[in-house]
Amino acid sequence: MIICKNLCQTFIILWIVMGFGFLSLSPGLYAQEKQEKKKYPPAKNYTVSKAVSKIKIDGILDEEAWKHPEKINILYEWMPGDATPSPVDTEVMVTFDRSKFYIAFRCYDPEPQKIRAHLMDRDSIDTFIQDDHISFMIDTFNDERRAFQFRVNPLGVQADAIFSELEGYEDFSWDAIWKSAGRITDFGYVVEVAIPFNQLRFPKTTDIQTWGFEADRSYSRNVRHRMSTHVRDRNSSCLLCQFNKLTGFIGMSPGKNLEFDPTLTTQRTDRRENILTGDMDTGKLKVEPGITARWGITPNLILNATVNPDFSQVEADVLQLEVNTRFALRYPEKRPFFLEGADFFLTPMEAVFTRTVFDPLWGAKTTGKLGRNAIGFFAVQDRYNNLIFPSNQGSAATSVEEDIYGGVFRYRRDVGKGSTLGLLYTGRSGEGYFNHVAGVDGFFRLSRTKTLSFQYLHSRTDYPDTISRAFGQEQEAFGGNALFADFRHFGRNLFYLFQYEDRSPGFRADFGFIPRVDIRRIMGFIQPVIWGKKGGWFDRITFSLGGERITNHDSLLTDQILEIGASYQGALQTYIQPTFQLQKEFYNGSEYDKNIFNFYAEMKPAGGVNYSLYMSMGDSIDYTNSRLARSWLLMPAIELGMGRHLNLNISHIFERLSLEGEKIYHANLFQARVIYNFNVRSFVRATIQYTDIDRNTDMYFSPIEPHTRILFTQFLFSYKINPQTVLFIGYSDNHLGFKGIDLTRTDRTFFLKIGYALVL
């Protein structure tokens, strides 16, 4: 405790000293910024012409069409440089025909032998960004609110995402069907791409269209150089507003714009009913056919429908320690049906979280944009009702096997330049149960650097009597409100934000993920930024000061945090961030003072190598026994790309909770993944997740299992022609062990999935 307090005091003094140093430098920095701003060239307009010949996507730019297209050069480095000349040359060529958008890159490199390129599964973005790669975004509606993003590395590995300007949302779970090829040459590398128009959304018009456009290159050495076709102004919070413009698009056709994705999933799970004496009982073979259809009613309005959809998870969730926790844990959505148009349902509060839909019988969805109006709607019939019961002090959850009908409606209208107003409704109902949520929200771009967003929701809920009694909920129908407001300033040398949030005790959003209610929260954060000079010892240094205060609706203080931090970004793609927190927390009738030190560091010293470490030490609440304790948390991770084909990813979580030097528990969570990539389409992967929790029973007031061990293993072969035309063959099992019981396999699963995308 004394050490932590001394560290806090030392860091506070250091932060104040550095803060004054920043203020003393700021006049010069702002003067330099003003001078540089005058030199920034405006974004350019380019005219795109139709391809004069057919194009084969093979990474060899020998077609006649590539001899006469619009050429755009990547001229400006935006990280770590600030609108400085690119350290390497890159040519971008763009053209199109009736059915596809084409783009090609010639990436020159003075040392081609140092190009970082590895084979991997598509959208493995954490690994992908360590490689050299190109990327581009197209704002097909030219409304500076939403863009499609595509990335390709020198071997042709793909990544794609939806970028939403309003929420700062970059979602790599979105998948499109497109072609790419990459080839390393004696001058660098070449990338060639074709994107069918039926995978995009764009206005339905016979007039010439203009799209927002940006092409980027990531050039990774000791420093990751990031370059673009236009200047990125650090004193503007709007990225899409700075894009170049491509005009000349006319006569495009998405064709019939029909896609059928039939799937066949077979699975057999064997279980051991009695872990001590029982044998493994062979399970029944389950065969689940399903189909999902996609119809582009117009180029900007999409209808999706599915019957008995395949929602099998072949990707194991990253484990999280569920020890000494109060609130439900969140796991990301990965299922294709819900990922289509997911950004249409984004709101400031997470009132729509589709993993609450567990086992749907059918589903239908419509998303699109008509002029200045964006709409989204989906409806499902689920065979389970997944519920979270939130409160100020914690959350509980249950799952009931019963038919649930639900739907979500979302409407958003563009207002002015860069602002929106929206409506949201979600509803779920079953036997003796309903939850309805409705509200309004808005996003306002007040200036180049300032934004304001808000959301108000009202809910009405009624649980069956059995659930109400079991989880302490209201016996009759009840209601609640939620309010959220956020003001932000993004400046070149200063970032700050203020937030206010209010959720009444009766607010429920069963289609969303809101695990805590009965709060009034106010939060502020300020972060000065110092940018380094080219070739200097740092790229960016920040200092931060933040505070948060939460009370319940009886005005009782339940949480208070003062956080002071700094960060360093520099050579070898190094990032270091220490923070100190002074906290107050109310739990189970008592208020606790906590002092916590957090530290995060990451380094990418070579291609395919990534080290990271997170550490937290200080005071913690032992929620099981309601007392103040000491916590030590350590999370190291390493990723190694051994050659172009083999990738190893190892992470570990160690947590120790103690009281006056006596162990309460030790928890270890180990995860390892070994992946061998045969080519850009196929790989084999082995995953191991091992959890070991050792508890000191003498330190618990109630009986508890002293030792728990859980082992999960999975082996998967994957072959993907595209995101929907796939073959998965796999095996997984679970092992469980307690004190006096060896680690014993409790179940095993064999599975096969075949999917095919028929695009018309």
Q: Region 316-336: what's the mean pLDDT?
A: 63
Q: Residue 329 — very low, low, confident or very high, per pLDDT cuts 50/70/90?
A: low
pLDDT in tens, 208-225: 999 999 999 999 988 899
Q: What pLDDT was estimated at residue 18?
A: 45
Closest CA to 395 of 339, 494, 333, 326: 326
Closest CA to 420 of 513, 348, 514, 524: 348
User: What do you get for the CA distance between the two ends of the chain, in Å?
Assistant: 66
Give percent of the chain with pLDDT exceeding 70.
92
Given a cut of 60, is residue 3 above it in pLDDT? no
Q: Residue 426 — very low, low, confident or very high, per pLDDT cuts 50/70/90?
A: very high
Q: Residue 36 — very low, low, confident or very high, per pLDDT cuts 50/70/90?
A: very low
Return the top range by mean pLDDT from 15-29, 160-174, 325-339, 604-618: 604-618
Helix, strand, coil percentages, rounded to 5, for the chain: 10, 55, 35
Q: Residue 519 — very low, low, confident or very high, per pLDDT cuts 50/70/90?
A: very high
| Local structure of residue 317 (DSSP, 8 states) | P
Residue that the structure tokens 């002293």 belong to? 706
User: Tell me: domain 42-249, CATH 3.30.200.20, correct?
Assistant: no
Given a cut of 80, is residue 528 above it in pLDDT? yes
Strands (E) across 172-283 are located at 179-184, 188-196, 209-220, 224-228, 244-249, 258-272, 280-281
Q: Across the chain, what does the average pLDDT equal?
A: 89
Q: What pLDDT was estimated at residue 167?
A: 78
Q: What pLDDT was estimated at residue 670?
A: 95
Contact (CB, 8 A) for 343 and 169: yes
CB atoms within 10 A of CB 222: 13
Contact (CB, 8 A) for 508 and 426: no
Q: Region 474-499: what's the mean pLDDT?
A: 96
The three-state DSSP-derived secondary structure of 463-480 is CCHHHHHHHCCCCCCEEE
Q: What pLDDT was estimated at residue 322?
A: 63
Q: How far is CA 538 from CA 11, 222, 376, 709, in A?
A: 20, 12, 45, 44
Residue that the structure tokens 């994957």 belong to? 718
Q: Residue 323 — very low, low, confident or very high, per pLDDT cuts 50/70/90?
A: low
Residue that the structure tokens 């979580």 belong to? 653
Q: How far from chain centre, in Å, is Cα 693?
A: 29
Q: What is the pTM of this model?
A: 0.87
Q: How far is CA 563 from CA 22, 575, 617, 628, in A?
A: 19, 19, 14, 20
Q: What pLDDT was estimated at residue 311?
A: 53
Q: Residue 99 — very low, low, confident or very high, per pLDDT cuts 50/70/90?
A: very high
Q: Which structure tokens are listed for 231?
A: 């200047």
Closest CA to 83 of 91, 75, 93: 75
Given a cut of 60, is residue 7 above it in pLDDT? no
Q: Region 707-712: what's the mean pLDDT?
A: 94
Burial class (CB in 10 A: 0-12, 13-18, 19+), 67: exposed
- Find the largest Cα–Cα distance for the chain: 80
Contact (CB, 8 A) for 71 and 92: yes
Q: What pLDDT was estimated at residue 632?
A: 96
Q: What pLDDT was estimated at residue 505?
A: 97
Q: Region 420-438: what's the mean pLDDT?
A: 96
| Local structure of residue 350 (DSSP, 8 states) | -
Q: Region 531-535: what's the mean pLDDT?
A: 85
Q: Residue 747 — very low, low, confident or very high, per pLDDT cuts 50/70/90?
A: very high
Given a cut of 60, is residue 1 above it in pLDDT? no
CA distance 576 to 568: 5
Burial class (CB in 10 A: 0-12, 13-18, 19+), 102: buried
Given a cut of 50, is residue 20 above it in pLDDT? no
Contact (CB, 8 A) for 424 and 444: no
Q: What pLDDT was estimated at residue 324?
A: 66
Contact (CB, 8 A) for 11 and 564: yes
Q: What pLDDT was estimated at residue 172?
A: 86
Q: What pLDDT was estimated at residue 114?
A: 93
Q: Region 337-341: what's the mean pLDDT?
A: 76
Give percent of the chain with pLDDT exceeding 90.
73
Q: Give me the residue spans of the domains in the chain.
A: 42-249, 314-517
Q: Residue 319 — very low, low, confident or very high, per pLDDT cuts 50/70/90?
A: low
Q: What pLDDT was estimated at residue 15?
A: 47
pLDDT in tens, 272-301: 888 777 788 899 999 989 898 999 998 888
CB atoms within 10 A of CB 158: 24
| Local structure of residue 393 (DSSP, 8 states) | S
Q: How far is CA 2 from CA 14, 595, 646, in A?
A: 18, 10, 47
CB atoms within 10 A of CB 148: 23
CA-derived radius of gyration, the chain? 27
Contact (CB, 8 A) for 95 and 49: yes
Instruction: Render 19-85 in DSSP notation, one character per residue.
Output: HHHHHHHHHHHHHHHHHHHHHPPPPPEEE--B-SS----SS---SGGGGSSEEEE--EEEESSSSEE
Q: 228 Cβ partners below 8 Å, 6+ apart?
A: 74, 76, 78, 214, 215, 216, 217
pLDDT in tens, 157-176: 999 999 988 877 788 888 89
Q: What pLDDT was estimated at residue 275?
A: 75
Q: What pLDDT was estimated at residue 49?
A: 94
Given a cut of 70, is residue 39 above it in pLDDT? no
Q: What pLDDT was estimated at residue 343?
A: 81
Q: Residue 325 — very low, low, confident or very high, per pLDDT cuts 50/70/90?
A: confident
Burial class (CB in 10 A: 0-12, 13-18, 19+), 660: exposed
CA distance 440 to 422: 6
Exposure of 320 in the CB half-sphere (CA atoms within 13 A): 10
Contact (CB, 8 A) for 374 and 411: yes
CA distance 728 to 44: 45
Coil, strand or helix: which one is 557?
A: strand
